[in-house]
């Protein structure tokens, strides 16, 4: 199958790109992936219970928001395929790619597909710690984004915990102090990795307690369906002593892993594996390949910023394709003119030669 535009990924960036591309009559094909990164189609937002910071919705479930985006993409004319892209070849145009069979991430189908342009919106996955109780209370007290979830009513005026010692952990903790009763930061080593300025902001804040050489071992909570987190078992890494502290929320700030394995050695990436794009644009190191959303954004990682970058990617893909069409048309015009000249007995280079 050949497509004008292929979109890999199905989060806010991917669907926004699909909507814009479809409205531009580019007939986009989206590969939403079958449990790519272990997450359902729609990306990380599908694991968020309530979203309160997406314009147009005072409150909406993350899964519902992504369902509505998917419906709009299809209504605009996007073809959505649930399979996962297994391999790509971006070394020449048209670009080539192959798929995994549905539900099988080991095998690769033999059929080769091609595309004139590719928009990468594969996202990034928050690192988890695989603590006891993590899966049970994910979305019911456990999160990987304070800015996304920290203002939910369940966290207001409650004791909260942040795990991490870098700049991201500092920013998460400081954000949470606006609504929380108290924020405890667990640092597994004996010092912070954050910058000196951020470390000072953290250590001097009256609502923040820092516990060094401390790790979490188990998440406690209500023993009922959709029960909420109520406490956290922590361990001193030096003395090995354990204790349970009250905590109504736990926020991971231990990094993200961008889904860029498909594109290694084909596209430029930074030291953390994020795709490098031109500042303020979606252009990657390969002409005709564009990137949007968390796969190229390691700073903001918000649904709305992802959606905006998806719009940028689609608009730039549309312009790039139009330029390619113009170039082809110009080349055809030159060839046609040359053929006409030869028919009339005039060779073009002779006609323009000043010596004749």
Phi, psi (5° rounding) for residue 103? 80, 5
- Known catalytic residue: 333? no
Residue 117: Cβ within 10 Å count: 27
* β-strand partners of 115: 3, 95
Q: Considering the candidates 116, 145, 294, 297, report the single residue annotated as catalytic.
A: 145
- Known catalytic residue: 148? yes
Rounded to the nearest 10 degrees, how much is the dihedral formed by the CA atoms of 260, 266, 271, 274?
-40
| Residue 51, CB-side half-sphere exposure with 13 Å CA sphere | 21
- Known catalytic residue: 311? no
d(CA 183, CA 202): 10
Q: Considering the candidates 49, 105, 106, 149, report the single residue annotated as catalytic.
A: 149
Q: Considering the candidates 25, 49, 148, 272, report the single residue annotated as catalytic.
A: 148
DSSP codes of every residue in 66-122: HHHHHHHHHHHT-EEE-SPEEEEE-SSSSEEEEEPPTT-SS---S--EEEEEEEE--
d(CA 279, CA 326): 26
- Catalytic residues, by residue number, are 145, 148-149
């Amino acid at each position: 199958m050949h497509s004008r535009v292929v979109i890999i990924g199905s989060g806010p960036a991917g669907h926004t790109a699909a909507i814009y591309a479809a409205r531009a009559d580019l007939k986009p094909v989206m590969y939403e992936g079958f449990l790519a990164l272990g997450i359902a189609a729609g990306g990380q937002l599908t694991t968020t219970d309530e979203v309160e910071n997406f314009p147009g919705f005072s409150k909406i479930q993350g899964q519902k928001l992504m369902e509505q985006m998917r419906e709009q993409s299809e209504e605009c004319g996007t073809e959505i395929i649930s399979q996962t892209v297994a391999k790509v070849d971006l070394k020449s145009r048209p670009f080539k790619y192959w798929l995994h069979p549905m539900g099988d991430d080991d095998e690769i189908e033999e059929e080769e597909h091609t595309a004139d342009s590719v928009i990468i919106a594969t996202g990034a996955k928050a690192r988890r710690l695989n603590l006891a109780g993590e899966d049970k209370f994910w979305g019911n007290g456990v999160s990987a984004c304070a800015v996304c979830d920290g203002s939910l009513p369940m966290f207001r005026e409650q004791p909260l915990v942040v795990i991490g010692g870098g700049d991201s952990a500092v920013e998460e903790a400081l954000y949470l102090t606006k609504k929380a009763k108290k924020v405890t930061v667990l640092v597994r080593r004996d010092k912070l990795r954050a910058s000196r300025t951020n470390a000072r902001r953290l250590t001097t804040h009256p609502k923040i307690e820092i516990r060094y050489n401390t790790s979490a071992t188990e998440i406690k909570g209500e023993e009922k369906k959709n029960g909420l987190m109520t406490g956290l078992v922590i361990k001193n890494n030096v003395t090995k002593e354990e204790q349970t502290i009250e905590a109504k929320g736990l926020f991971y700030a231990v990094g993200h892993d961008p889904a860029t394995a498909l594109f290694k050695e084909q596209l430029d990436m930074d030291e953390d594996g994020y795709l490098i794009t031109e500042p303020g644009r979606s252009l990657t190191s390969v002409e005709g390949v564009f990137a949007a959303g968390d796969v190229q954004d390691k700073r903001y990682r918000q649904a709305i910023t992802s959606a905006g970058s998806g719009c940028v990617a689609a608009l730039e893909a549309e312009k790039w394709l139009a330029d390619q069409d113009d170039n082809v048309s110009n080349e055809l015009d030159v060839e046609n003119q040359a053929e006409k000249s030869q028919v009339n007995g005039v060779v073009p280079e002779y006609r323009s030669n000043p010596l004749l």
